[in-house]
Amino acid sequence: MSLTVSSEQHSVKNKKGNTTSKNDDELSYKRTPVSVDELKAKKFSNKERKDFKRKWREEKLLAQMEKNKKQRQEKEQQIKKEEEEKKMRERCGRLYTVSIALPGSILDNAQSTELRAYLAGQVARAAAVFNVDEIVIFDEMNQSSQTTSDFSGLKKSGQGNKQLFHILQYLECPQYLRKSFFPYHQDLAHAGLLNPLDIPHHLRESDVSEYREGVTLKKPVSGKKDAGSYANIGLKKEAILNMNVPPGQRVTVKLLEQKTDKKNLRGEVVSPNEPREVAGTYWGYVVRLVSCLSEVFTSCPYQGGYDLTVGTSERGQDVNDAQIPSFKHAIIVFGGLKGLEASVEADCNIGTDDPSEIFQRYVNVCSRQGSRTIRTEEAILIAMTALSPKLTSANAASS
């Protein structure tokens, strides 16, 4: 005969000799409080209270640890992002500018029109190779009667200053835009035979680039007044700009899409400085024509003017010993056939005959020259070779 014992009647003895049933254990487990309010509202044993408080403290500590971990991760991500942005700016963006100034009379020393054009092409090539952002042409003897930058397209040759101005502008302009901006002029008779600059914004139709130079077209986008403008950017498809721009204007376009099934591309007009400042891409130079040496500085287009001025002469300090401070806008000035001394003497706005007094640095870029004279186009290459590392390191140290 088997004996059956129900679970309700089964009991065990604890260490103190008291009898505790399994049913009591189950009830005790079910009575575990779930909140502090419930713990206060009902009567629980000391053991239940201690277990709950211990569990509550552990959960609170774990939550705090998780919160601290999350905050630490967010802070590390923020620091990492800032470091990456700083490296990106150092690696890509270039906020400082480098300008050169020279007299246009250097073309007058050439023996033929072909050599005059070739000499101007050498200056443009040197500027492109060394990432020069601005070229200033001044009259060495202060005898210029006209300094306008308008390109009239008259069928006659100009003096050295104006011819150099025209050729430098022509070579900097992308090939697909030249017909829109340069009518026939005798100053440009041989410009098409010069070596191309091949700078980053001289893009071919097959090249992919976020930025492109373009010319606005006389073509309405739609009936809306603020619908934008069409621009030729050197591609098979025209670009629709985000703003209305008068036709015939040169614009720098940031493409919002590289490829699309639509008939036109979308782009926005940006500053010509953005490719250099944001992407670190050299975007050509601008040309400025002034009447004398002093006007090189007084008509500076940058806010605050040039904060670093460098003069070049065989009477200056050895360029290897020159210390270059940090700067935002630097200009390097070259003399003509008679040197910078002649330009200073001819300018009545300068109150000294000593060129070293008007420059922060007055350097000799080739202290052991074998020839009696160094031509200006040669001096540009020599000076920029010596000064470019110094200019770069000066701004890298300041950042």
pLDDT bracket for residue 2 (50, 70, 90): very low
Over 50: is that where the pLDDT of 376 sits?
A: yes
Residue 132, pLDDT above cutoff 80: yes
Q: What is the pLDDT of residue 355?
A: 87
Residues 116 and 191: their CA atoms lie apart, in Å, by 10
Query: What pLDDT sits at residue 43?
Result: 66
User: Which pLDDT does position 263 carry in this prediction?
Assistant: 82
Q: Do 167 and 189 meet the contact criterion of CB atoms below 8 Å apart? A: no
Query: Is the predicted pLDDT of residue 139 greater than 60, yes or no?
Result: yes
Question: Of 287, 286, 254, nearest to 271 (Cα)?
Answer: 254
Tens of pLDDT, residue by residue over 284-305, are 999 999 999 999 999 999 999 9
Name, of 25-39, 218-232, 366-380, the range with top average pLDDT: 366-380
What DSSP string describes 40-71? HHS---HHHHHHHHHHHHHHHHHHHHHHHHHH
Provide the 10 A C-beta neighbour count for residue 42: 10
- Tell me the C-alpha distance between 84 and 95, whole Å: 17
Chain-centre distance for alpha carbon 189? 35
Predicted pLDDT of residue 33: 61
3-state secondary structure of 168: helix
Q: How confident is the model at residue 53 (pLDDT cuts 50, 70, 90)?
A: confident
Burial class of residue 292, CB neighbours in 10 A (0-12, 13-18, 19+): buried
Highest mean pLDDT among 46-55, 245-254, 336-345: 245-254
Whole-model pTM? 0.74
pLDDT of 167 > 60? The answer is yes
Residue 95 near residue 277, CB atoms below 8 Å: yes
Q: What confidence tens digit (pLDDT) does each residue in 65-84 have? A: 999 999 999 999 989 888 87
Please give the pLDDT value at position 28.
46
Residue keyed to tokens 């940058």: 302
Q: pLDDT band at 146, cuts 50/70/90?
A: very low
Token reading at 350: 């300068």
